[in-house]
């Protein structure tokens, strides 16, 4: 009885997790979460700013294992910001832009993810062709601490410009798009205005993307077909093997049972209750047939 059971149940328990393991997507151990990166950048920008109080832009150093990501911060009086705007790295914020809620001073934290861009941000069916750059403004009225909440902008004049100079873009140029990127796969497409320049009305993360060629898309679809077919085929073979093994087991049990019956020459009904070999889950299905055969 025990043998029969173990032969029946254990493989299902072993095989099912194995199947899950085989076909679940494989994730790396490090997760690249844009929100936690922004939190880290905020923390280090605050530290850097506490050391230096002047209004000029300063570089923020991140932990060594993030090398390749550039961060800088600039601290401004809101009045000055309104009158002159600010022009740093790839961003141009024109005059007549107000932070809200209103603060006396603000710090603008700028990031360029460089070679880390595609780890943190992806656009389905598109390839990023420029590094992801971003800016966020915080309340900097308190000299020793940046506000935690990102400020928003109220634009009364021209919009904010983001330029990506010196890019060599491969791919279909007519599909070149500005993308605004966010956490959890947020993507918003904007048309590019002039030479590699994007327009925005607010803060965020931006890059340029070109649509992948159809061929590549088709190959990807094909890959999934092949994987799906392989999985299906494997499952089919597996269920075949399990079914066959079960059938063999049941049949050999049944034969052994029948041999025992004929040796004893006693009616099946009586022995099937008395003999410990016979009762098992897999026998339930076969017993009625036996009864019909033997009991007229
Ligand atoms: C800040 O970093 C950029 C790029 O790494 C560099 O070109 C620039 O000289 C740095 N500025 C200062 C003030 O250290
Ligand atoms: C960098 O190291 C810190 C610990 O020092 C770790 O928490 C973080 O995940 C690491 N980041 C990357 C991208 O390796
Ligand atoms: C980016 O480049 C720097 C060196 O410039 C390297 O240390 C770092 O590992 C690179 N990061 C990634 C994600 O490739
Ligand atoms: C911003 O500064 C760059 C050089 O630092 C300059 O080429 C560009 O024209 C400036 N943009 C505006 C709108 O002033
Ligand atoms: C500025 O921030 C520091 C550190 O968080 C805090 O101790 C201090 O009270 C704040 N000052 C003002 C005027 O809010
Ligand atoms: C972008 O350009 C395409 C074609 O030039 C046009 O069909 C589309 O409406 C534009 N989208 C926006 C948001 O301007």
Angle between helices 214-264 and 283-294 (to 10 degrees): 40
pLDDT of residue 146: 86
**Average pLDDT of 53-77?**
88
**Average pLDDT of 275-296?**
48
Mean pLDDT, all residues of the chain: 77
For the CA of 59, the closest atom of ligand 1 is 1
Specify the range with the lowest mean pLDDT, choosing from 124-133, 204-213, 221-230, 287-296. 287-296
Backbone φ, ψ for residue 285 (5° rounding): -70, -35
Ligand closest to 118 (CA) is 3
Decide: residue 158, CB within 10 A, 0-12 exposed, 13-18 middle, 19+ buried.
Answer: middle
Task: State pLDDT tens for residues 147-191.
Answer: 999 999 999 999 999 999 777 776 667 788 999 999 888 999 998
The domain spans of the chain are 1-30, 32-211, 213-253
Task: State pLDDT tens for residues 208-260.
Answer: 999 888 766 666 666 776 667 677 766 777 777 767 777 677 677 776 766 66
Q: Is the CB of 30 under 6 A from ligand 2?
A: yes
Architecture of domain 32-211: Sandwich (2.60)
Closest residue to atom 9 of ligand 1, CA basis? 59
Task: Give, in order, the Cα–Cα distances in Å from 291 to each of 260, 269, 279.
Answer: 16, 8, 14
Q: Is the CB of 142 under 6 A from ligand 5?
A: yes
Q: Is the CB of 31 under 6 A from ligand 2?
A: no
């Amino acid at each position: 009885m025990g043998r029969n059971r173990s032969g029946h149940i254990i493989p299902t328990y072993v095989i099912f997790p194995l199947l899950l393991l085989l076909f679940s997507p494989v994730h790396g151990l490090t997760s690249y979460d844009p929100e936690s990166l922004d939190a880290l950048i905020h923390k280090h920008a605050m530290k850097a700013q506490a050391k230096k109080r002047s209004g000029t832009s300063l570089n923020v150093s991140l932990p060594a294992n993030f090398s390749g990501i550039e961060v800088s911060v600039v601290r401004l009086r809101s009045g000055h910001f309104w009158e002159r705007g600010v022009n740093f790295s790839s961003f141009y914020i024109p005059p007549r832009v107000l932070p809200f809620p209103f603060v006396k001073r603000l710090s603008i934290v700028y990031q360029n993810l460089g070679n880390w861009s595609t780890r943190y941000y992806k656009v389905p069916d598109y390839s990023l062709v420029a590094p992801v750059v971003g800016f966020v403004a915080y309340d900097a009225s308190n000299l020793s601490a940046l506000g935690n909440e990102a400020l928003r902008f109220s634009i009364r004049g021209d919009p904010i410009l983001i330029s990506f100079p010196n890019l060599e873009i491969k791919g279909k140029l007519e599909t070149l798009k500005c993308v605004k990127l966010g956490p959890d796969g947020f993507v918003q497409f904007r048309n590019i205005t002039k030479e590699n320049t994007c327009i925005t009305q607010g803060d965020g993360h931006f890059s340029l993307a070109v649509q992948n060629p159809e061929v590549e898309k088709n190959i990807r679809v094909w890959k999934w077909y092949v994987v799906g077919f392989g999985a299906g085929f494997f499952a089919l073979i597996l269920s075949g093997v399990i079914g066959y093994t079960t059938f063999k087991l049941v049949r050999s049990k049944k034969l052994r049972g029948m041999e025992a019956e004929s040796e004893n020459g006693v009616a099946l009904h009586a022995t099937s209750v008395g003999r410990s070999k016979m009762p098992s889950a897999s026998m339930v299905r076969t017993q009625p047939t036996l009864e019909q055969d033997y009991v007229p």
